[in-house]
Homo-oligomer: A and B are copies of this chain.
Amino acid sequence: MPHPTSIRALTFDVFGTVVDWRGTIIEEGNRWEIDLDWAGLADAWRAGYQPAMARVRSGELGWTRIDDLHRMILDDLLPDFGLTGLSEEKLVHLNRVWHRLRPWPDAVEGLTLLKQKYVIATLSNGNVSLLTNMAKNGGLPWDCILSAELAHHYKPDPEAYLTACRLLDLPPEQVLMVAAHEGDLRAAAGVGMRTAYVHRPHEYGSRNPKPWPDEKFDWMAKDFVDLAEQLRAM
């Protein structure tokens, strides 16, 4: 395991790692008082995410930010979920639910601890304005908002990680990527970054718990407070 003092900054995956996208969409949806399978919509919406980014990666679409990809996916889902009657104003509001995602219960406390010792930044496929609004809504104390948008390359393309390290003016081995997803961490390790896996068993719902992965990363943490303990940032 690398020594914590070799680390200068932590970059965080956001959707699923810092915030509970599925739980928030269901919660907000249930307040709409429309009879709708909000969990199904959340899952279908999220399932469209990788294919949409693949269209950007292949060059079929020019650079397109996540807000616009989210809207394209949502528009495709409207008929299946009986939502074609929604006004444009309501659709804009619904699409921006991704700006209002709720942090996991330990996230703000853990980030506040980690911030005392390290630079903490997002490194998300979410666009800068989405991440900025989300931080304001959820009280996330980032030092800096970094995004795939600044590289015009979505994770796991190496350019997304290398652009973040360059903007932090740190060599990759002094930057720790924190994520609940193995593919993200594998790509970060591929450019020389350090890696911390944080377990979010209920990202896909409490009825669908995710087991710990077999794969080992530099740090393996239960949540952000546990990570702060392991990095001696308490």
Contact = CB atoms under 8 A, between A and B. Distances in A.
Interface of A is mostly: helix
A167 B170 CA distance: 23
Given A129-B167, A129-B168, A169-B127, A143 B136 contact: yes
A145 B67 CA distance: 20
A187 interface: no
A135 interface: yes
Interface string A110-122: 0000000001010
Interface in A130-155: 132-133, 135-136, 143-145, 149-150
A119 B167 CA distance: 21
A142 B144 CA distance: 8
Interface in A168-203: 168-170
Contacts of A65: 169
A228 interface: no
Nearest to A133: B119
A128 interface: yes
A128 B144 contact: yes
B129 A169 contact: yes
B150 A143 contact: no
A152 to B, nearest CB: 11
Contacts of A136: 119, 143
Contacts of A145: 143-145
A163 to B, nearest CB: 10
B128 A132 contact: no
Nearest to A143: B132
Contacts of A167: 127-129, 149
17 contacts: A67-B169, A119-B132, A119-B133, A119-B136, A127-B167, A127-B169, A128-B167, A128-B169, A129-B167, A129-B168, A129-B169, A132-B143, A132-B168, A135-B143, A144-B145, A145-B145, A149-B167
